Amino acid sequence: MQKNKSNQFKFRAFLGIYLAISLVIMTISGIILYISPPGRIAHWSYWAIVGFTKTEWQNIHTTFTFIFIVAGGIHIFYNWKPLMNYLSRKSKGTSKIRKEMIFAVSITISIFVGTYIELFPFSTVIDLGEEITDSWSDENNEPPIPHAEELTIVEYAELQKISVTEFQELLEKAGYSARDTLSTMQQVADKYGVTPNEVSKVIQSDLAISTNINSVYKAGSGYGRKLLSEILTENNLNWETSIEKLLSNGIKVEKDDKLKNIADDNNILPIDIIKTLDL
C-alpha cells in the first residue's frame, strides 16, 4: 500500500512559509525599533509597545534575523541546482538576466554608499529616525546620565550632590526601602513595581535641589545631534571665541559639525565640550 504523499511533511514548503512569517516579524520589529525612544529613556521609564520593552523588541528582531539568515541559507542549499539551472538557461538564451543582476547590484551598492555618506534621500530616512527618537525626550523622562538605572544608591546620591543618608530618608518617606546602599536604582524600582524614573523623582519633589542636571545640557539628552553653531547661537556665544576656548583645552574643531561627531573626532564625550564652554 502506497503512502499518501499529500500527508508527508514537505521541508521546502515549510522553509518558504517560515521565511515569509519571519520577514513579517522582522519588518514589524524593525519599524518599532525605528520609532522607539533612545535606550536611556526606554530603560529609565520602562517604555513598551504591546507589552514588550525596547530590549525585548531588540532581542526578538536579532533572534529572528539570525534564524532568517540560517533558514535562508538552507533554502538556497536545497534549491541550489534549480537556481543554477535557471540562471544557466537565462544566460544562454538572453543577456537580460545579466543586465538585471548588474542593475540590482548597482542599486544595492548605491544604497549602501549613499547611506554611509548620508546622501539624499537616504539621509532623510536617517534624519527622520533621529527626529522621532528625539521627540520622546522631555524633562519628565530624561535620566540624568545614560544608564542611570544601573547606578547604586550611593552613586545616584553623589550624582545628585546629596548625602546617601538624605537620599535614603527621601526614599523611605516615599515608601521605598533602600537600606542596602549597593542596590541599584533598577533593583529598587523592580522591588516596588515602578520605574527608576519614579524612584528618582523623590529628590525633585522633596528637595528641589539645584544641580548640574538643570544645566543647559544633560548627558544623553540628544543635544549631541545638534550642530555646534546651533548650540552657540542658542546660548549667545561667539563662534571665534568659543573655538579658541576649545582649542586651548585641546579640543580641535575643523568645521561646523554635530556635537557628537566633534566629540568622536577628539575621543571625548559631548558633555566634555559643553563643560569646556561653561554651559
Using alpha carbons only, give the angle 227, 231, 234 rounded to the nearest 5 degrees.
135
| DSSP SS3 for 104 | helix
Residue 258's DSSP bridge partners are 227
Pairing of strands 48-49, 52-53: antiparallel
8 A C-beta contact, residue 263 and residue 270: yes
**pLDDT band per the 50, 70, 90 thresholds, residue 28:** very high
Please give the grid coordinates belonging to residue 94: 538572453
| Torsion-angle region of 210 (φ positive above 0: left; ψ -120 to 50: alpha; else: beta) | beta
Q: CB-side exposure of 262: number of CA atoms within 13 Å?
A: 26
| Per-residue model confidence (pLDDT) at position 96 | 58
pLDDT in tens, 42-83: 888 888 898 899 999 999 999 999 999 999 888 888 888 877
pLDDT in tens, 103-118: 888 899 999 999 988 8
